């Protein structure tokens, strides 16, 4: 039979060998200790451990030897096989190799190899951790060779009892709603609804300053005292109107009595009544002029204080600006003080055009101070319609409770704005994620073993993170106190460095 006629038979034999290897691994998967081998392939189950010229594991039978390495420099981790015949380099085109790789909790992987330079290279990445069992099948000069190799890395044995005593709890990876967020810069500003510019309301000279910049004041408290000629004139008019009203009332009472006794004509009575009404109206008008300036008509009626005007705070708060001094002559529209109630403040958050569709009134936000550890929750109460001409950003106002006065206007902050929830197929708790060799990892639970599973993460919120790659839905993992497992790996030296 010629060579082409034998090829189908050889192919059938190879397929049978690979299927048998898969069944063997699935039925009799051995779980070696974490210390049994290292990244240099130092331990096997079916052959004497030998290190080859390239520093890899050497598998030999008859005249054929294969040196297995994992190459990680400048490329993704890949198997490289160096073939030898009688300890001399053999052209990689002379050998055909396949490898079946099995991991804890994973389906078997089949690796094919192609010749490159003086070695054979795998067609797939060798994922982390490098903890697996291998069945190596090689075909050379019409003969089939088979080796079995085990490698353990990033694995810790821990019974259920030990797990409970360490406070390690399990969770199952699966679907979750991720409340994504966007983070935007901002600044704490005063609540513009609770800030007041205090003006004298009438011209005059400042004779006394009662409250100064930075001091707390209550509603109605006196801030300063002025002397005002206008106020003296208005009070004089009020006093005169009151006296005229008293006189008009006296005349009216007398004329009414005389008219009822038929001593005087009714005309005199009606004139007295009209004069009394006119005096009453004049008195009320003079009183309202004083009230319009915040002055009670009955206050300061002594001649010593008739020109004194008290500037009062219209709200309770803190004096944030003082713009008058003793002896200064001020106009009625001059801002003498600015008083702010800082029991609530605003975070003015800058919203970039690309994020405008994600920000809306009523949205939950978490404000974080840049300078130190301080956070507070609030809601978006307003988003500006127009963009700033220079920065090309909109402003979103987030109102914060500040009764403890920890938030000071002028502080720079970051705002985490919660966007709509997104359903993801696989997610894990943030508490479970550890950092190992600059990778985000969790520890999967397989029987009585924990083994590292590097993750490619997607979206996240304050509790959960999306798993794009590295863990399957339905797999159990250490959700709490996973740092204990990381510590055990460090003690055992069971993780190789890149």
Residue 5: the pLDDT is 47
Tokens of 182: 């966007």
pLDDT of residue 294: 79
| Cis status, amide bond into 270, omega within 30 of 0 | no
CATH code of residue 238: 1.10.287
Domain annotation covers residue 417: no
Same domain, 13 and 139: yes
Are 140 and 233 in a shared domain?
Answer: no
Same domain, 11 and 146: yes
| Residues 247, 135 within the same domain | no
CA distances from 475 to 366, 422, 453 (A): 33, 21, 11
Residues 122 and 250 in one domain: no
Is there a single domain that holds both residue 18 and residue 133? yes
Distance CA 362, CA 418 (A): 11
Asked if residue 260 belongs to a domain, the reply is: yes
The CB density around residue 60, as the number of other CB atoms within 10 Å, is: 17
In a domain, 203, yes or no: no
Three-state secondary structure along 430-458?
HHHCEEECCEEEEEEEECCEEEEEECEEE
Cα end-to-end distance, the chain, whole Å: 51
Tokens of 351: 């919203």
Is 426 in contact with 175 (CB distance < 8 Å)? yes
Given a contact cutoff of 8 angstroms between Cβ atoms, the answer to whether 480 and 168 are in contact is yes
Complete DSSP assignment for 216-240: EE-TT-EEEEEE-HHHHHHHHHHHH
The CATH number assigned to the domain holding 487 equals 2.40.420.20
* pLDDT attached to residue 297: 84
Q: Which of 306, 324, 341 is the last residue of a domain?
A: 306
Which pLDDT belongs to residue 39? Answer: 37
* Lookup: tokens for 61: 């039978």
Neighbours of 147 (CB within 10 A): 20
Judge whether 448 and 157 are in contact, CB under 8 Å: yes
164 token code pair: 């409970």
Q: Is residue 16 part of a domain?
A: yes
Cis peptide preceding 69, ω within 30 of 0? no
Q: Tens-of-pLDDT digits for all 498 residues of the chain? A: 444 444 444 444 444 544 454 444 444 333 333 333 333 333 333 556 789 999 999 999 999 999 999 998 888 899 999 999 999 999 999 999 999 999 999 999 999 999 999 999 999 999 989 999 999 999 999 999 999 999 999 999 999 999 999 999 999 999 999 988 899 999 999 999 999 999 998 999 999 999 999 999 999 999 999 998 888 888 888 989 899 999 999 999 998 888 888 888 888 889 989 999 999 999 999 889 888 887 888 775 666 678 888 899 999 999 999 999 999 999 999 999 999 999 999 999 999 999 999 999 999 999 999 988 999 999 999 999 999 999 999 999 999 999 999 999 999 999 999 888 889 999 999 999 999 988 999 999 999 999 999 999 998 888 999 999 999 999 999 999 999 999 998 886 655 554
Asked if 202 contacts 309 with a C-beta cutoff of 8 angstroms, the reply is yes
Residues 6+ apart with CB under 8 A from 101: 108, 109, 110, 111, 126, 132, 133, 134
Residue 70 near residue 38, CB atoms below 8 Å: no
**Structural domain contains residue 103:** yes
Question: What is the rounded distance in angstroms from the CA atom of residue 302 to the CA atom of residue 300?
Answer: 6
Q: Which domain holds residue 171?
A: 157-177+424-492
Which CATH number characterizes residue 34's domain? 2.60.40.3340
Instruction: Judge if 249 and 172 occupy the same domain.
Output: no
Across 155-217, where does the E strand assignment appear? 155-157, 170-172, 174-190, 195-198, 204-209, 216-217
Same domain, 128 and 165: no
Which of 285, 317, 311, 329 has its CA nearest to residue 201? Answer: 311
Of 306, 323, 346, the residue at which a domain comes to its end is: 306
Domain co-membership, 235 together with 167:
no
Distance, CA of 201 to CA of 27 (rounded, Å): 94
Say whether both 8 and 149 belong to one domain: yes
The structural domain count of the chain equals: 3
Residue 377 lies in a domain: no
SS3 track for 146-166: EEEEEECCCEEECCHHHHHHC
On whether residue 235 sits in a domain, the answer given is yes
Domain boundary among 288, 306, 324: 306
Pair (146, 7) in one structural domain = yes
Q: How far apart are CA 469 and CA 458, in angstroms?
A: 9
237 with 147, same domain?
no
269 located within any domain: yes
């Amino acid at each position: 039979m010629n060579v082409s006629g034998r090829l189908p038979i050889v192919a059938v034999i190879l397929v049978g060998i690979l299927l048998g290897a898969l069944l063997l691994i699935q039925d009799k998967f051995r779980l070696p200790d974490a210390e049994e081998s290292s990244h240099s392939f130092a331990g096997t189950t079916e052959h004497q451990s030998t290190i080859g010229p390239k520093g890899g594991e050497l598998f030999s039978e008859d005249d054929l030897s294969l040196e297995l390495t994992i190459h990680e420099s400048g490329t993704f981790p890949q198997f490289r096989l160096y073939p030898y015949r009688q300890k001399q380099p053999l052209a990689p085109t002379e050998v055909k190799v396949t490898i079946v790789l099995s991991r804890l909790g994973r389906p078997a992987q089949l690796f094919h190899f192609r010749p490159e330079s003086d070695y054979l290279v795998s067609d797939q990445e060798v994922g982390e951790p490098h903890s697996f069992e291998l069945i190596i099948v090689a075909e050379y000069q019409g003969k089939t060779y088979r080796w079995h190799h085990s490698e353990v890395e990033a694995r810790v044995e821990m019974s259920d009892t030990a797990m409970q005593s360490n406070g390690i709890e399990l969770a199952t990876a699966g679907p979750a709603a991720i409340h994504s967020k966007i983070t935007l810069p901002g600044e704490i500003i005063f609540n513009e609804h609770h800030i007041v510019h205090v003006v004298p309301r009438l011209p005059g000279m400042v004779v006394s300053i009662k409250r100064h910049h930075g001091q707390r004041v209550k509603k109605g408290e006196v801030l300063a005292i002025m002397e005002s000629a206008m106020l003296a004139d208005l009070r004089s008019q009020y006093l005169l109107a009151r006296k005229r009203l008293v006189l008009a009332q006296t005349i009216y009472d007398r004329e009414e009595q005389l008219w009822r006794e038929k001593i005087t004509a009714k005309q005199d009575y009606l004139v007295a009544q009209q004069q009394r009404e006119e005096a009453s109206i004049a008195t009320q008008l003079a009183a309202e002029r004083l009230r319009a300036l915040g002055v009670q008509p009955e206050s300061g009626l002594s001649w010593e204080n008739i020109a004194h005007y008290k500037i009062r705070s219209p709200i309770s708060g803190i004096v944030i600006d003082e713009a008058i001094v003793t002896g200064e002559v001020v106009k009625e529209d001059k801002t003498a003080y600015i008083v702010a109630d800082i029991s609530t403040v605003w975070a003015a958050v800058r919203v970039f055009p690309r994020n405008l569709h994600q920000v809306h009134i009523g949205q939950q936000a978490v404000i974080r101070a840049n300078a130190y550890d301080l956070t507070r929750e609030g809601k978006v109460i307003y988003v500006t319609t127009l963009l700033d001409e220079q920065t090309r950003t909109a402003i979103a106002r987030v109102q914060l409770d500040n009764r403890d006065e920890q938030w000071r206007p002028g502080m720079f902050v970051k705002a985490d704005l919660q966007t709509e929830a997104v359903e993801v197929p696989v997610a894990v708790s943030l508490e479970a994620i550890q950092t190992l060799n600059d990778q985000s990892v969790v520890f999967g639970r397989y029987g009585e073993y924990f083994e590292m599973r590097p993750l490619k993460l997607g979206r996240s919120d304050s509790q959960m993170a999306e798993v794009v790659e590295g863990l399957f839905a339905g797999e159990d993992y250490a959700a709490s106190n996973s740092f204990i497992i990381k510590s055990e790996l460090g003690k055992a030296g069971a993780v190789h460095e890149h």
